[in-house]
A and B are shown apart, each in its own frame.
Chain A
Amino acid sequence: MIYEITVDGKTHKLDLERKDGEWVCALNDRETTVDAVAVRSTVLSLVVGGKVYEIQRERQGGETWIWLDGVRHKVEVTDPRSLRGRKAGIGGEKGPLKITANMPGKVVRVLVADAAEVEMGQGLIVIEAMKMQNEIKSPKKGTLRKLNAVVGAAVNAGDVLAIVE
């Protein structure tokens, strides 16, 4: 199996082969043999040349993170055979900007009306979770569109609450 693996933004080529219960790993064409045991579905115990590692995997909102020694690293794994040219463009600072909830919680105040002119840094919506209130501010000057926040509604992290044009 050949994978393209991005760790903290840098891409590596990994060729994995299962052999005698171990993994023969060619990372950027350098070969290592790894003994891996899944102690949980999200935790691997590795023995590499006698050295022991315990590594956790976390998936959140479509992103994958690998934890090593209490530090997490963002990874992206692609199987080149199944690659379907998915590099979508990301909206720049100049176009409309999405206002998203930065934590799960409940909308407690909506400070502006739809179609309002807002200044950069102006408070728009207040979300509360775990006894803490957090004011979401406008990332730029512009007009507020598609306001989708109602007082009392529950929101998840990443939910789009409005757009500033």
Chain B
Amino acid sequence: MFKKILVANRGEIAVRVIRACHELGIAAVAVYSDADRAALHVRKADEAYRLGPSPANESYLEIETILDAAKKCGADAIHPGYGFLSENPKFAKACAGANVKFIGPSAASMETMGSKTRARQNMEKAGIPFVPGTSRGLESPEQAAEAAEKIGYPVMLKAAAGGGGKGMRLVHAPVELKGALEAAQSEAQRSFGDKEVYIEKAIVNPRHIEMQVLADEHGNTVCLGERECSIQRRHQKVVEEAPSPIVDADMRRRMGEVAVRVAKAADYANAGTIEFLVDQQKNFYFLEMNTRLQVEHPVTELVTGLDLVHLQIHIAAGEKLPFKQEDIQLRGHAIECRIYAEDPENNYFPSPGKIETLMEPAGPGIRLDSGIYEGWTVPIDYDPLLAKLVGYGENRAQATMRLERALGEYFVGGIKTNTGLFRRILSDADFKAGQLDTGYLERLLKRTTSVDPAEARTGIIAITAGIFAAMGNEKAGKVPAKPAMSAWLRTARTDALHS
């Protein structure tokens, strides 16, 4: 087993991996940019090394600097988290070259799956069902028009190197195609340094359901069930759950078999996720494979009772999977809310800044994977994900109730977050009925809500505002007053006098 693992990431996922290392008795090494010296992941680690200035391409994406830090501290493995270098085959290769184990699949598997067009070509060979379209990049608007005509409108243009919704365009009619292709190509070039764009049939109101797979380096591959990730905005997932409200045992078995076949076709090892689009008739199509740990992995952990990061580390250390497919049992239901630093009143734009007040929920069935603390300033340089709040229950209704309760306990002051959005989602009738698709959230957001504070509420708010002001005056010494003392403190003082 490894003695020391370097975590090449930041934020909540770095904290989550550091915790797993400590649970396994492994020393954890953090790396950080100038913006992150005071970040939680640095505070939680045993050792920490500076990478460089704040921009990610000068710090968290600096392969050489990260490997230098690993060599300097004697780390024998690197966990890449998600994002940053996690799906970069060059990084995996560089780790192998430096004799540091990369906790993830081989560079070759990543290359097979990293390009969406190459993945489609390989899956075509392996007989995997995928969304009709081209398996190669489009060379001209004419070729795009021809392909679109053949598969039928609406069509989706997608960047081959894509992710996070970048370089994607939905095209309803031939007249929009040329402009959309140019826009998608230029965005793909800007975002990924690769302008390859392909075309596929747009499935109307699909669900997004993904299968978690786990493979050891001895050819054993299992599927840990599905996650429903249909609640998205701008192609970014917002709420995920396991199991999916529409997947029954038979569908789970069939999707799981395809997922395992995909992983085997890529000669895959470690944790990976196969994403599917599911149409209204419950037909499922291979979309892409994510060759890393997913943001939403906790929901799978809760319903399987497994720790995916522990398993990733054991697998990377060369151990065999400690269970077989038939040993995997799903139990209960888990729902995750992604807490983002964004402003619901300003079109969900990013809202970095100082966290003045932080009150975190706890209690039965609640898991909070967080990368923040009170007094910390959320930097502008990175992804706005602050934390993941996960509710677990014996069934979907109980998981929902627990999450609603926990959201009531959660308060992040000083910056804007989307916590209010989750209260709307969780209390929404369609959500409760499990009627979800990737257009669900846009529809929900279009419906306006009117907050009409009742008279009693307004009174409490006015009184509180006044008391805050009066207490501020007391502190500033403007109003001479006895310091407020709780009964408990008074009792303690009196007791002390008696003893």
Residues of A with Cβ closer than 8 Å to B?
A: 1, 3, 5, 7-8, 10, 12, 14, 16, 18, 21, 23, 25, 27, 32, 34, 36-38, 40, 42-44, 46, 48, 53, 55-60, 64, 66-71, 73, 75, 77, 79, 102-106, 129-132, 134, 154
Contacts and interface: CB of A to CB of B under 8 A. Distances in A.
A14 B486 CA distance: 25
Nearest to A103: B349
Nearest to A106: B380
A42 B413 contact: yes
Contacts of A102: 346, 349
B415 to A, nearest CB: 9
A152 to B, nearest CB: 11
B238 to A, nearest CB: 15
A59 B473 CA distance: 16
A75 B462 contact: yes
Closest 8 CB pairs of A and B: A130-B350, A75-B465, A130-B384, A129-B350, A14-B466, A42-B357, A103-B349, A5-B462
B356 A70 contact: no
Contact of B484 (A16, A37, A43, A46): A37
B464 A70 contact: no
Chain A contact surface mostly: strand
Nearest to A40: B357
A32 B459 CA distance: 10
A32 to B, nearest CB: 7
A7 B461 contact: yes
A89 to B, nearest CB: 25
Given A58-B413, A130-B382, A131-B382, A68 B457 contact: yes
B469 A3 contact: yes
B453 A73 contact: yes
A79 B468 CA distance: 13
A139 B380 CA distance: 26
Nearest to B451: A71
A93 B346 CA distance: 20
B467 A23 contact: yes
B29 to A, nearest CB: 26
Given A7-B465, A75-B462, A75-B465, A21 B350 contact: no
B463 interface: yes
B471 interface: yes
Contacts of A12: 458, 462
Given A71-B451, A134-B349, A66 B465 contact: yes
A25 B468 contact: no
Interface of B: 164, 341, 343, 346, 349-353, 356-357, 359, 380-384, 407-408, 411, 413-414, 419-420, 423, 451, 453, 457-471, 473, 479, 481-482, 484-486
Contacts of B470: 1, 3, 16, 18, 23
A38 B471 contact: yes
Given A27-B459, A104-B380, A132 B349 contact: yes
Contacts of B384: 130-132
Given A3-B466, A64-B465, A70-B419, A58 B414 contact: yes
Most buried by B among A8, A16, A64, A103: A103
A16 B482 CA distance: 15
Contact of A103 (B351, B381, B458, B462): B351
Contact of A1 (B350, B411, B462, B479): B479
A57 B472 CA distance: 12
A105 B380 CA distance: 6
A42 B460 contact: no
Nearest to B490: A21
Contacts of A132: 349-350, 384
A68 to B, nearest CB: 6
B411 A56 contact: yes
Could you say which of A64, A71, A106 has the most chain B C-beta atoms within 10 Å of its C-beta?
A: A71
A8 B411 CA distance: 20
A105 B346 CA distance: 15
A48 B382 CA distance: 43
